Amino acid sequence: MTGVMTEAAAESRLAGRQPAVRLVGLEKSYGPVRAVRGVDLEIAEGEFFTFLGPSGSGKTTLLRMIAGFERPDAGRVELAGADVTNRPPYLRDVNTVFQDYALFPHMNVQENVEYGLRVKRIAKDERRRRAEAALEMVRLSGLGARKPIQLSGGQRQRVALARAIVNQPEVLLLDEPLGALDLKLRQEMQLELKRIQQEVGITFVYVTHDQEEALTMSDRLAVMSDGRIEQVGPPVEVYERPASEFVAGFIGVSNLLERGGRRFTVRPEKVQLLDAGAVPAAPVGEPGGLHVEHGTVAEVIYLGPVTRYVVELEAGGRLTALSQNLETAAADVAEARGRRVAVAWRENQVFDMTSPRSDTDQERSNAT
């Protein structure tokens, strides 16, 4: 998947860089609601970092405190080593891109992109040169004379991005900027955002509730719940080694089962779906071998490239398995419901949710 890297690779890429953003003990409440609860985090210079979580998890509040739109009740915000907690937004070296673009409708594209430079009293020729370079960066060369209303949603989003990066901020904050786009365009823009971030080298701090966006673009991500950070790490680490039931359930789909007092999760794509009498592909009981259970297919959901099978297990509970549709026929899907099957998974792909988290897992949930 584009943008995914291992924990070691991410650490290697970011090693030696000073934090572009450091959050220390941040707290924020709105009346009785604690929106952010004691968040500590470091975001490296040049990193594409994402806050991922459901509505109400505190991710946008964190972004607004970095921008200066909200002041924390406790803790501090540092940018490039300087404490900016009490600075207003215009005295912070950050820019923000919003979901609604916030373009000036009476200005054309070129004027919108130049606006921040004009406020800073940059000379006209320099403004034009930098604005044209920014528009070329977002692949909108030649559209400077158009008004925002003459552009598509994706183009308007690119203009908003060009207007932000033309100011060359140390940190660019993006608050669900792709939320208003349709699925296909959103997927295209995910790749474009990652390309642009890598070319300009600006630290991107991104907020989304969309798992695919976070996994596709991020160097690292923080999964948030109830105002706290549940886990921080590269996408592959967070997905493959969830630190809690919440992370396992929120990032993708995860089967949560309980056997003999032990609670554990296993991802659907790790589950083999077999005929009831089939022999597993790996020895049962050996290290890395398969655990096998039996059940009945209760639901079948055809998704094009894959089919999702929900199996009612004889030992109790339901389990979802995914099967690639390499040679699947319509009849195979139609006749699968009610069929007795075996399901199998490797023990080393199971994540135990019963035991308290180890020090390593706890460290993974903190930003260090």
Quick: pLDDT tens for 153-207.
Answer: 888 888 999 999 998 899 999 999 888 788 888 888 888 889 999 988 999 999 9
What is the predicted pLDDT for the residue at 359? 39
Q: Which of 179, 234, 171, 178 is nearest to 203 (CA)?
A: 171
SS3 (DSSP) at 122: coil
Class level of CATH domain 248-352 = mainly beta
Say whether pLDDT at 235 is over 50.
yes
The model's pTM is 0.84
Helix runs in the chain, H state only: 7-14, 59-67, 109-119, 124-137, 153-165, 183-200, 211-217, 235-240, 245-250, 330-334, 359-364
DSSP-assigned letter for residue 288: T
Look over the chain and give the mean of its residue pLDDT values, rounded to a whole number. 86
What is the predicted pLDDT for the residue at 52? 97
Q: Which of 206, 109, 117 is nearest to 166 (CA)?
A: 117
SS3 (DSSP) at 127: helix
For the chain, give the percent of residues with pLDDT over 90: 57
**What's the CA gap between 294 and 292, in Å, rounded?**
7
Name, in order, each residue with C-beta under 8 angstroms of 271's C-beta and a sequence gap of 6 or more: 255, 319, 320, 321, 322, 343, 344, 345
Region 43-57: mean pLDDT is 95
Region 319-335: mean pLDDT is 77
**What's the CA gap between 272 and 191, in Å, rounded?**
32
Q: For 22-37, what is each residue's pLDDT tens digit?
A: 999 999 999 999 999 9
**Beta partners for residue 27, in sequence order:** 37, 74
What is the predicted pLDDT for the residue at 331? 61
Say whether pLDDT at 116 is over 60.
yes
Q: What confidence tier does 286 reach under pLDDT thresholds 50, 70, 90? A: low
Superfamily of domain 7-244 in the CATH hierarchy: P-loop containing nucleotide triphosphate hydrolases (3.40.50.300)
Provide CATH 2.40.50.100 ranges for the chain. Answer: 248-352
What is the predicted pLDDT for the residue at 303? 86
What is the predicted pLDDT for the residue at 287? 46
Q: What confidence tier does 236 reach under pLDDT thresholds 50, 70, 90? A: very high
What is the predicted pLDDT for the residue at 17? 64
**What's the CA gap between 265 and 246, in Å, rounded?**
11
**Beta partners for residue 352, in sequence order:** 264
What is the predicted pLDDT for the residue at 356? 47
Say whether pLDDT at 362 is over 50.
no
Provide CATH 3.40.50.300 ranges for the chain. Answer: 7-244
What is the predicted pLDDT for the residue at 125? 92
